[in-house]
Amino acid sequence: MLWPKATRNIRCICMNITITKSPLCLCIILFSSFDAQADWPQASGPDYNYVVPGQAAKSFSGARGTNIRWRVRLPNTGQGTPVVYGNRIFVQCHEPITTDTEMSSLTIGLCFDTETGKELWRRKLPAARTTDLSSLFSDNTAASAIVTKDVVAFVNVGGRISVFDHEGNQQWTYEWVPFGRHHSRQHEPFVLENQIIIVKTIKDGLPISATTKGGSHPLGRSKQFWTHLHAFDLKTGKINWIAETGTGCHAASTFGYSKLNKPVIMTGRGGGHQPPEEPFGISRVNARDGSTDWDSGIQGYPSAQNVTFNKNGVYGFVGQNHIMLDPANGLELKRVSLTTNVRITSGYPNYESLDGQQFQPAKKAITYQTNIVVGNYHYFLSHKAGFIGRIHLNTDAVEYLQVPLQVVRSTHNKEIKILHQKTLPNDMKNADGFLATQDKRNAGSGWGHVSAASPTVVGQYMYIPTMVGTVYVLKWNSEKLDAGSLVSISDLGPAGKTWTLSSLAHSQGQLYARTLRELICIESE
């Protein structure tokens, strides 16, 4: 979605924290002034939608070093997207480990030079409780930093926010013990008129005994266990408003403006792990006072997806269907099948396109986090491995493009292997050779799971990374989603040794990516 120019006067300082003495559920939004040098100030980019103008490399290979300007070793894993301000790039990762493990409480904030990759400084960021080193649930470990013209903020989701100036001098820090049923990917940042917006329970002092890694289910369905958007005054910490409607702890809320230029938040409830916030569906929240503009109950709605919207509609996925709501009142305008009478292009590299087909996906329709609205299209990954989909928002035409799951490029010769059915098992080891997860699902392809990286759009090209380090580069505005749309199948590193749930960042023609092992600068062609 494309935001109005007015939104360029705001920037977010996001992630997972609190300003009060309350336990909370992992999200923060801060106010700051926009500066043209803040090329990628947060995980979702300058306009909250992963979309920017410009140009970037159309193909690259981390395995062979093709179009790689520099790469630097990271102390340990993490999933946050790199953020960029001017000639500095910031990233957060977990502490170095000396044995195979899956939990940690200490994270590290790092600052690098964008031109050379030289490390300029690092700071320790301890927290109150442990979190996963690497998990299928995106952005739960060592979340994305945020950067403004004055400060950079790192949020350890175990319960700490640390704010520094660009030279690494600490400005302030805040600690808490979070009440979190499940870490998962949390809300994208929002900001309005010197307010900090977070998500937390209204009731303080809730126990965490049933909310750690082994017990992600809620303590009950009572409203006392619901999480809500809270707006805090940035200067005083006073609560200005609490959203009337609940927000699921897995929901990826989205900030924008209505047709009348009213600042609004789209948020959701529903999905796996029994979120108690009811009814399942989407709500529009008045970003000025937290009141509910409308609640749209949607049976079977999984909130762990980007709640995408523009001034024409609110878009989402329910089962095997794409839905569109009226942004003014939340009424369902249409529901389109993602499986019936669709166009399928398959047979890489000798592609054939067939219209009027019946698509047979897996049990679920999409990989929920990997979807993006750009122009007249809503792009998504199917749960059926190897199929990228899109729906035309005006014509309702649904198209699928089958792609290989992995391209294995030899680091010793020019040999290339194309894998269609499954990927090479990932060793899940960090740069020091230690196993950074015990979750065996991390060794798979990454297709079909709830959390994967959001695509990034730079100009006419879309970059879709998968968990194994494959990056599909598409010409997103192609008239047909077919062989001509697929520009390249790039990679972030050697097959079987590369893992990521991070989106790509963009700044001044260069792309930035992070994997379990590395921070990578991809040179503009």
pLDDT at 484: 95
* Tokens read off for 153: 């903020």
Q: Is the pLDDT of residue 419 over 50?
A: yes
Tell me the average pLDDT across 494-513.
Answer: 95
CATH number at residue 249: 2.130.10.10
Assess contact for 128 and 180: CB atoms under 8 A: no
* 522 compared with 446, residue with greater pLDDT: 522
* 469 compared with 127, residue with greater pLDDT: 469
Residues 145-191: tens digit of each pLDDT = 888 878 888 878 777 778 889 999 998 877 777 665 554 345 555 65
Give the bridge partners for 80, in sequence order: none
Query: Whole-angstrom Cα distance, residue 252 to residue 25?
Result: 13
pLDDT at 180: 55
Question: Quick check: is 204 in a domain?
Answer: yes
* 102 compared with 318, residue with greater pLDDT: 318
pLDDT at 38: 63
What is the per-residue burial (b if ≥16 Cβ within 10 Å, else e) of 172-202? eebebbbbbbbbbbbbbbbbbeebbbbbbbe
Tell me the average pLDDT across 387-410.
Answer: 96
Query: Whole-angstrom Cα distance, residue 345 to residue 351?
Result: 6
Question: Quick check: is 395 in a domain?
Answer: yes
* 277 compared with 14, residue with greater pLDDT: 277
Which phi and psi (to 5°) does residue 513 adopt?
Answer: -135, 155
Which phi and psi (to 5°) does residue 315 adopt?
Answer: -120, 145
Tell me the average pLDDT across 98-124.
Answer: 93
Domain count, the chain: 1
pLDDT at 190: 61
Question: Quick check: is 491 in a domain?
Answer: yes
Query: Whole-angstrom Cα distance, residue 110 to residue 119?
Result: 7
**Within 13 Å, how many C-alpha atoms sit on residue 291's CB side?**
4
Three-class SS state of 222 = coil
Give the pLDDT band of residue 208 (cuts 50, 70, 90).
Answer: low
Q: Is the pLDDT of residue 303 over 90?
A: no
Query: Whole-angstrom Cα distance, residue 145 to residue 71?
Result: 19
* Tokens read off for 210: 């049933």
**Within 13 Å, how many C-alpha atoms sit on residue 313's CB side?**
19
Lowest mean pLDDT segment, chosen from 9-18, 87-96, 288-297: 9-18
**Within 13 Å, how many C-alpha atoms sit on residue 52's CB side?**
28
Lowest mean pLDDT segment, chosen from 16-25, 223-232, 315-324, 487-496: 16-25
Assess contact for 190 and 265: CB atoms under 8 A: yes
* 75 compared with 276, residue with greater pLDDT: 75
Mean pLDDT score of the chain, rounded to an integer? 83
Question: Quick check: is 5 in a domain?
Answer: no
**HEC string for 155-200:** EECCCEEEEEECCCCEEEEEECCCCCCCCCCCCCCCCECCEEEEEE
* 27 compared with 52, residue with greater pLDDT: 52
Query: Whole-angstrom Cα distance, residue 23 to residue 178?
Result: 4
Give the pLDDT band of residue 14 (cuts 50, 70, 90).
Answer: very low
Which phi and psi (to 5°) does residue 7 adopt?
Answer: -70, -15
How is residue 225 annotated by DSSP? Answer: G
Assess contact for 141 and 157: CB atoms under 8 A: yes
Assess contact for 63 and 20: CB atoms under 8 A: no
Query: Whole-angstrom Cα distance, residue 199 to residue 247?
Result: 8
Question: Quick check: is 57 in a domain?
Answer: no
* Tokens read off for 171: 């400005």
pLDDT at 396: 97
Residues 351-377: tens digit of each pLDDT = 999 999 999 887 777 777 789 999 999
* Tokens read off for 279: 């009814």
Q: Is the pLDDT of residue 88 over 90?
A: yes
Assess contact for 62 and 70: CB atoms under 8 A: no
Tell me the average pLDDT across 58-87.
Answer: 94
Instruction: Say which residue the tokens 């600490």 belong to.
Output: 170
pLDDT at 470: 96
* Tokens read off for 152: 């950079």
Give the amino acid at 489. I
Residues in the chain: 525
Tell me the average pLDDT across 94-103.
Answer: 89
Query: Whole-angstrom Cα distance, residue 238 to residue 85?
Result: 30
Lowest mean pLDDT segment, chosen from 73-87, 230-244, 248-262, 428-442: 230-244
- Pairing relation of β-strands 456-458 and 51-52? parallel
Lowest mean pLDDT segment, chosen from 134-138, 359-363, 413-417: 134-138
Lowest mean pLDDT segment, chosen from 2-11, 286-295, 310-319: 2-11
Query: Whole-angstrom Cα distance, residue 211 to residue 415?
Result: 48
pLDDT at 237: 63
Give the pLDDT band of residue 503 (cuts 50, 70, 90).
Answer: very high
Tell me which range, 40-54, 129-143, 268-282, 418-432, is most confidently predicted by mean pLDDT. 418-432
Tell me which range, 66-75, 184-193, 254-263, is most confidently predicted by mean pLDDT. 66-75
The whole domain housing 370 covers: 10-48+62-522
Residues 457-501: tens digit of each pLDDT = 999 999 999 999 999 999 999 999 999 999 999 999 999 999 998
Give the bridge partners for 315, in sequence order: 308, 324
Give the pLDDT band of residue 450 (cuts 50, 70, 90).
Answer: low
Q: Is the pLDDT of residue 217 over 70?
A: no
pLDDT at 285: 95
Give the amino acid at 113. D
Of all residues in the chain, what percent carry a pLDDT higher than 90? 50
Question: Quick check: is 270 in a domain?
Answer: yes
Instruction: Say which residue the tokens 């010793």 belong to.
Output: 412
pLDDT at 233: 67
* Furthest CA-CA distance within the chain: 62
Query: Whole-angstrom Cα distance, residue 267 to residue 281?
Result: 9
Which phi and psi (to 5°) does residue 324 adopt?
Answer: -135, 125
The secondary element (H helix, E strand) that includes residue 392 is strand 387-392
Which stretches of 74-156 are assigned E, i.e. beta strand?
A: 83-85, 88-94, 103-104, 107-113, 119-125, 131-132, 146-147, 151-156
Query: Whole-angstrom Cα distance, residue 163 to residue 145?
Result: 10
